[in-house]
Amino acid sequence: MPVLSMDNVNPNVRDMEYAVRGPIVARATQLEKDLLAGANKPFSKVLKANIGDCHATGQSPNTFIRRVVALCSAPDLIDKVDYPEDVKQRARRILAGCRGSSVGSYSASPGIDVIRQDIAQYITDRDGGIPSSPDDIILCTGASDGIKTMLTMLMTGKGGNERAGIMIPVPQYPLYSATLTEYNAYSIPYYLNEESHWGLDTSELKRAISAAKGKCIPRAICVINPGNPTGQVLTKQNIQDIIKFAKEENLMVLADEVYQHNIYGAGCQFFSFKKVLMEMDDPYNKMELASFMSASKGFMGECGFRGGYSEVINLQPDVKACLLKSISAKLCPPILGQVVMDCIVNPPKPGDPSYDCFKKEKDEVLAQLKEKAKIVTELFNSIEGITCNEVQGAMYAFPRIFIPQKAVDEAKAEGKSPDSFYCFKLLESTGICTVPGSGFGEKEGTYHFRITILPQIEEIKAVLELFKQFHVSFMERYK
């Protein structure tokens, strides 16, 4: 008899869901294998547009980042290869901060000191001189690891109506709902307003927390800016309102800011929660805040290195010591991920040998993303039965599909949500793998899907034309 079965496995793990890598992705993977085996399908390849994996969709690595990683990995090459001197200097500086001058050694649990210093300087510069301390920087295995660490700290260790309650946006990145299920915490959903470009007003926040009181102990509010999956960028006023609400309700703010480089909308600007909070002065500048950044997004897209950091401010000293104790059990985040993070926050400066190449590559990636955001937005809004808010930032569109009642009924008969039914039909017909909106949360009676804007421009145009043909056929079939 097995020790573990579905009857006795941890029910929180059994019940958690992560739509970005859910059943539709498993089917897409099987279709890829079928094609390789020579199966006859109505498409020649599967396009996994379900996840923000930049390099998997054709984006080239940034030369400066990869050269520094290469020399840190093989320091014997530093004096042999014809790399620019600033690349070699960066590798030497990082290696000098590693134990035994090797990236094969452990670092301190919060990360390599010189890299934490560079991150603190980056944040200070980004926020117009508002100081950041290296002591508040914790490197992590991608931003998701840092987010889970802070959620762990916020748990009450109790059940029932004494569970920790965490406010999360709807639609939301399913890391949050999955983790809260895993931790047996209470999700407090607050709805973004699709009709006002996925905007957020405090009346909705107050409604959400009022509905949750008595069912949990509210502890924090999560905010994703720029938004995932919704692609909106918060205004400074919006951020101020959220901070005031969090102060009024005694909530910690968890600011997911991994797309801070990905701003495309006219008139849109990224404001960090740290900057706004500190500018609001007393008492707001004393609030507990954790913000998160990643190497996986932006212009770099280095998902596989699993690099990220969190800046955690205004914790009580004994609580901060407890946080550092908790991360020590994980030893340290990947050293090469830390190296990548250093190259992101401390890039070549004007006059450095690598500067022109670095700037050219960075600008090209961001310009193409901006163009693709416009292409995707315009295409979806040109199709009958679909509406799509402007992709102002991040890497995704989250269009609404008006699914005919006949298709809704057929989906229910198959035990699927209508948007899952639609996305499965899309995959089987075209090879395009998207994520149903129900995996992110959506208002009752509305249906969406998330699609990445990452494929190369010519490919995304071809994909969208294929999508259009499918959608027209789908609507005709079920009208």
Beta bridge partners of 138: 310
* 284, two tokens: 């707001």
Contact 407, 418 (CB under 8 A): yes
In this predicted model, what pLDDT tens digit does every residue of 211-240 receive, in sequence order? 998 999 999 999 999 999 898 999 999 999
Confidence of residue 7 (pLDDT cuts 50, 70, 90): confident
* 170, two tokens: 């709807």
Contact 312, 138 (CB under 8 A): yes
In this predicted model, what pLDDT tens digit does every residue of 246-287 receive, in sequence order? 999 999 999 999 999 999 988 899 999 999 999 998 999 999
Give the pLDDT score at 158. 87
pLDDT for 13 beyond 80: no
51-60, 236-245, 435-444 — most confident range: 236-245
* 464, two tokens: 């969208």
Q: What pTM did the predictor assign?
A: 0.90
Instruction: Please report, as a single letter, which amino acid is at residue 372.
Output: K
Question: CA 159, 161, 164 angle in degrees (round to 5)?
Answer: 70
In this predicted model, what pLDDT tens digit does every residue of 114-129 receive, in sequence order? 999 999 999 999 999 9
Domains in the chain, CATH or no CATH each: 11-58+359-478 (3.90.1150.10), 106-345 (3.40.640.10)
* C-alpha to C-alpha distance for 337 and 330, rounded to whole angstroms: 15
In this predicted model, what pLDDT tens digit does every residue of 65-83 receive, in sequence order? 999 999 999 999 999 999 9
Q: Which of 279, 276, 260 is nearest to 268 (CA)?
A: 260
Give the pLDDT score at 51. 78
Q: Is the alpha carbon torsion for 408, 228, 463, 45 positive or negative?
A: negative
pLDDT for 467 beyond 80: yes
